[in-house]
Amino acid sequence: MCPYCGVGCRLKLEGVNLQGNGSVARIKGVETAPANFGKMCAKGAQLGPTINTPDRMTWPLIRNTLNEELKPVNWDAALAHAAARFSDIYYQHGPDSVAFYGSGQLDTESVYIATKLFKGTLGCNNTDSNSRLCMAAAVAGYKTSLGQDGPPTCYDDINHADVMLIIGSNMDEAHPVTFERVKAARKSRKAFVIVADPRRTSTAENSDLHLAVSPGGDIALLNAIARKIVDLGAVDTAFAENHTNGYREFREFLLAQDLAELCQVAGVPLAMVEDVARRIAGAKGFLSFYCMGLNQSTVGMWKNNAVINLHLLTGQIGRAGAGPFSLTGQPNAMGGREAGMLSNSLPGYRTVDNPDHRAEVESYWGRVPGTISPTPGLTAVELFRAMEKGSLKAIWIAATNPAVSLPDLHHIRRAFGRAELVIVSDAYHPTETTRFAHVVLPAAQWGEKDWTSTNSERMVSHSPKLWNAPGQSLPDWEIMCRFANRMRLPGFQFQTSAEVWNEFAGLTRGRPNDVSGATAERLREVTSMQWPIPTADHPGTPRLYTDLKFHTPDGRAKFLCRDHKEPREQPDHEFPFVLTTGRLYSHWHTLTRTGKVDKLMAREPSAYVEINPADAEKLDLTQGDMMQISSRRGTIQLPARIGNAVPPGTVFIPFHWGDIYNEGNAANYLTISAIGRVAKQPELKFCAVSLEKVLVPSARRPVVTLPLMEAPPIRGKSPAATKVV
């Protein structure tokens, strides 16, 4: 399975040579794989050069203070050091003084062990993940509107939909293989594709209608479309009356709004809104895709509710070609949600504040009642606030690089400066985050372990181990089990990932995301199945809610009246531009892998700030001028890229480049750490900045070089010529 995006492409590796230079002769998509049917993108194709790089972690590293050099040690010494320091803090300051910060790039087995260890053994709900920066609003949106998390749709819906709305998603760059299918549907079946994005992205270029919504204007836009659907008399009243609650209130709410005003706030002409409403009203299958343009907002959950409202209004859910489809960013952000990675959740879509859920999980794990805390833990941004304040003293970070990816990096650096113990498990060192670590643990990555993940369409897949991990690296679940055993904690005597999976799968029995019928043995045979999979002979479930029974107590979905709210920080005379941030096709997040691939770096060699030609003219800019971009939190310098994709008044910076590439100039030195009230997702898509041309650029700080360890020879044999992952 490709270790990058949530599309979940299955890949074939040919001519793997990890004895020699770590090369893979060729990588191809697997023709029969349901997520990609043989396709893949450039990042998947270029995984070869990222496998055995000089900065691959091979030994654990430890030190006492950040002033010392990290020293390589064996596992025994590393775990003794980590467990001793962790125990000191835990027993002296209690469960709230420690935390686990994981990732949608951890396999389900590792998430499960982290949850069992931190929430279910140490009584610490400060167990969150980078999914908080990513999918938290989608989770909260599904739960509030439909009663439970989980996209109801599947990729095959693209083959049945005749109207698709892509809102706040740049699918062409971020989910390219799935977007290929959208393009094919547009071409072969004349499916009508609408893209709502403030930028004219390549996704918008490949659509039938681009709605250049104002940044943060989505709720106004979606309410305007809903209002027009009501005006057209196109509401599916039978569905609304029989399968939802709140329809009448929602209708009143819409009728009380001024359509022209909504369009003005949304920044979209009324004629376009009318056109979209008519098309949705007349659609046989209406499918909507959304991603960070909706989620990364202080009203991200509300934006999600507003999309789902459209589906409830038109009865476009629970059948082929219809439904809301949140695109998952990371390869296993879904599995993380299912196994309880967010600070308010427990495995099997349970929550910590539900006494029955706590009791079920405690009894399954053989824990004394009361072990699991009823209070939701701190979320990603809150963890680092607590660390800066000093109340959070120890953190275990796995498969994420928060020193690049969290908002307001000056604050993050201050927080790291105050931490007493930072344990980082990563496949590479140095990263911007391992620079702040007291203990760095070498993680085996995708091809080096047996692992399970769930992609965007609820497809649970097993990926086999293909070659031995370099040096001493181990899968994350095994590292945590060894740590727990060292702490003499019961319940972590697993020998294989299959054992871990089977224990997790058993805990989902009877739950909405039931995978109890997908035992490790079965998954190793059939490879992929969509949950729920409640029995050993169940074939899996491509679509949810086909019986129109939702996961609410009375089985009805909920209309929720959501008003437009301004983003937290508005432009003013001092910071007159809106900064939005996001991704580029060639790169994956913080560049720990794609930054090492010449072909990908050649496509996008460095960060930049994209500025509309009208603004460029006002600022007297030419292409490539060095710009100083400032927000209330920081100042960075990047070259200007003048382009029409951004509207006037808005600038775009890709967030991939961290301090290792250009010290002090990452996008997140500018972004705001404001979070939503429920989903607690930060507003990474909107803050106010100023722009200034730099007349004499400050000398670029050199790339930070930290001592690299010699990579020891790779253990084990070369795998057979062709392996499927």
Ligand X SMILES: Nc1nc2c(c(=O)[nH]1)N[C@H]1C(S)=C(S)[C@@H](COP(=O)(O)OP(=O)(O)OC[C@H]3O[C@@H](n4cnc5c(=O)[nH]c(N)nc54)[C@H](O)[C@@H]3O)O[C@H]1N2
Q: How distant, in Å, are the alpha carbons of 127, 128, 537, 720 from that of 99?
A: 6, 8, 39, 41
Q: Which of 55, 109, 157, 197 is the binder for ligand X (CB under 6 A)?
A: 197
- Name the segment binding Mo ion (CB under 5 A); options: 5-13, 156-164, 177-185, 325-333: 325-333
Residue 44 interacts, among ligand SF4, Mo ion, ligand X, none and using kind-specific CB cut-offs from 5 to 8 Å, with ligand SF4
Q: Which of 61, 134, 166, 679 binds Mo ion (CB under 5 A)?
A: 134
DSSP string spanning 444-500? P-GGGS-EEEE-TTSEEEEE---SPPSTT-B-HHHHHHHHHHHTT-SS----SHHHH
Name which position in 151, 216, 321, 340 contacts ligand X (CB under 6 A): 216
Measuring CA to CA, which residue among 149, 122, 113 is closest to residue 504?
113
Pairwise CA distance, residues 217 & 272, whole Å: 15
> Do the beta carbons of residue 516 and residue 533 sit within 8 Å?
yes
Residue 473 binds which one of ligand X, ligand SF4, Mo ion, none, with CB within 5 to 8 A depending on kind? none
Nearer to ligand X, 42 or 694 (CB): 42
Distance CA 228, CA 342 (A): 37
Residue 320 or 479 having the CB closest to ligand X = 479
196 binds ligand X (CB under 6 A): yes
Considering only the stretches 34-42, 329-337, 577-585, 700-708, report the one whose residues sit in contact with Mo ion under the rule CB under 5 A: 329-337
| E strand or H helix that includes residue 652 | strand 650-654
Site for ligand X in 475-494 (CB under 6 A): 476
Stretch near Mo ion under the rule CB under 5 A, chosen from 211-219, 324-332, 505-513, 642-650: 324-332
CA dist 546 and 457 (Å) reads 15
Residue 200 beta carbon to ligand X: minimum distance, rounded to whole angstroms: 9
380 counts as binding ligand X under rule CB under 6 A: no
Looking at residue 451, its amino acid is: W
| Alpha carbon distance 382, 127 (integer Å) | 11
Interacting residues toward ligand SF4 by CB under 6 A: 2, 4-5, 7-9, 36, 40-41, 43-44, 176-177
Whole-number Å distance between alpha carbons of 235 and 506: 42
Residue numbers 158-177 binding ligand X by CB under 6 A: 167-170, 173-175
38/506 with CB nearer ligand SF4: 38
CB of 620 to ligand X, least distance (A): 26
Of 43 and 251, CB closest to ligand SF4: 43
The verdict on 329 binding Mo ion (CB under 5 A) reads: yes
d(CA 73, CA 58): 10
| Residue 405 interacts with which of ligand SF4, ligand X, Mo ion, none, CB < 5 to 8 Å by class | ligand X
**Partner from ligand X, ligand SF4, Mo ion, none binding residue 9, C-beta < 5-8 Å depending on class:** ligand SF4
Residue from 333, 331, 366, 335 nearest 348 by CA: 335
User: Tell me, what amino acid is at 288?
Assistant: S
* Residue whose CB is nearest to ligand SF4 in the complex, by number: 44
Q: How far is the CB of 330 from Mo ion (least distance, A)?
A: 5
341 binds Mo ion (CB under 5 A): no
629 lies in the binding site for ligand X (CB under 6 A): no
Q: Which of 674, 664, 656 is nearest to 635 (CA)?
A: 664
**Residue among 44 and 323 whose Cβ is closer to ligand SF4:** 44
Q: How far is the CB of 158 from ligand SF4 (least distance, A)?
A: 14
Note whether 226 binds Mo ion by CB under 5 A: no
Measured between alpha carbons, how far is residue 397 from residues 17, 436, 497, 630 in Å? Answer: 31, 11, 20, 29
- Of 247, 655, 661, 669, the residue at the interface with ligand X (CB under 6 A) is 655
Rounded to whole angstroms, the Cα distance separating 666 from 362 reads 43
Tell me the C-alpha to C-alpha distance, in Å, between residue 252 and each of 221, 224, 232, 235, 503: 17, 13, 15, 13, 48
Stretch that binds ligand X, among 117-125, 459-467, 579-587, 688-696 (CB under 6 A): 579-587
Is residue 668 at the binding interface for ligand X, with CB under 6 A as the rule? yes
Task: Out of 311, 462, 556, 587, point to the residue binding ligand X (CB under 6 A).
Answer: 587
Q: Which one, 486 or 685, has the nearer CB to ligand X?
A: 685
Q: Answer yes or no whether residue 102 interacts with Mo ion by CB under 5 A.
A: no
The helix (H) or strand (E) run that includes residue 87 is: helix 75-93
- Which two three-digit tokens encode residue 439? 């203990």
Alpha-helical regions (H) of 518-633: 520-526, 598-603, 613-618
Residue placing its CB nearer to ligand SF4 in the complex, 7 or 640: 7
Smallest separation, CB 33 to ligand SF4 (Å): 10
In the list Mo ion, ligand SF4, ligand X, none, the entry touching 177 (Cβ below 5 to 8 angstroms by class) is ligand SF4
Q: Considering only CA atoms, which of 251, 221, 255 is closest in space to residue 237? A: 251
Query: Minimum distance from CB of 2 to ligand X (Å)?
Result: 11
DSSP per position, 187-251: HHH--EEEEE-SS--HHHHTSSEEE-PPTT-HHHHHHHHHHHHHHTT---HHHHHHHEE-HHHHH
Q: Mark the segment that binds Mo ion (CB under 5 A) among 133-141, 302-310, 367-375, 619-627.
A: 133-141
How far lies 11's CA from each of 27, 44, 159, in Å?
7, 8, 23
Q: 406 to 445, contacts with ligand X by CB under 6 A?
A: 425-428, 431, 443, 445
Q: 155 — alpha (psi -120 to 50), left (phi > 0) or beta?
A: alpha
Least spacing, CB of residue 684 vs Mo ion, in Å: 10
Percent helix, strand, coil in the chain, to 5, is: 35, 15, 50
Among 72, 329, 336, 517, binds ligand X (CB under 6 A): 329
Return the residue of 207, 330, 343, 513 that touches ligand X, per CB under 6 A: 330
Residue pointed to by tokens 């997040």: 589
Which three-class secondary structure string do you get for 327-363? CCCCCCHHHHHHCCCCCCEECCCEECCCHHHHHHHHH
Smaller CB distance to ligand SF4: residue 2 or 310? 2
Strand partners, 62: 71, 439
Helix then strand count (H, E) for the chain reads: 24, 28
Query: Distance between CA atoms of 714 and 468, rounded to whole angstroms?
Result: 7
* 281 in Cβ contact with 227 (< 8 Å): no
327 binds Mo ion, rule: CB under 5 A: no
C-beta closer to ligand X: residue 244 or 433:
433
* Residue 213 interacting with ligand X (CB under 6 A): yes
Q: Which residues bind ligand X (CB under 6 A)?
A: 5, 103-105, 130, 133-134, 167-170, 173-175, 196-199, 201, 213, 215-216, 218, 291-293, 296, 329-330, 398-402, 404-405, 425-428, 431, 443, 445, 476, 580-583, 585, 587-590, 592, 655, 667-668, 671, 684-685
Q: Which residues bind Mo ion (CB under 5 A)?
A: 134, 329
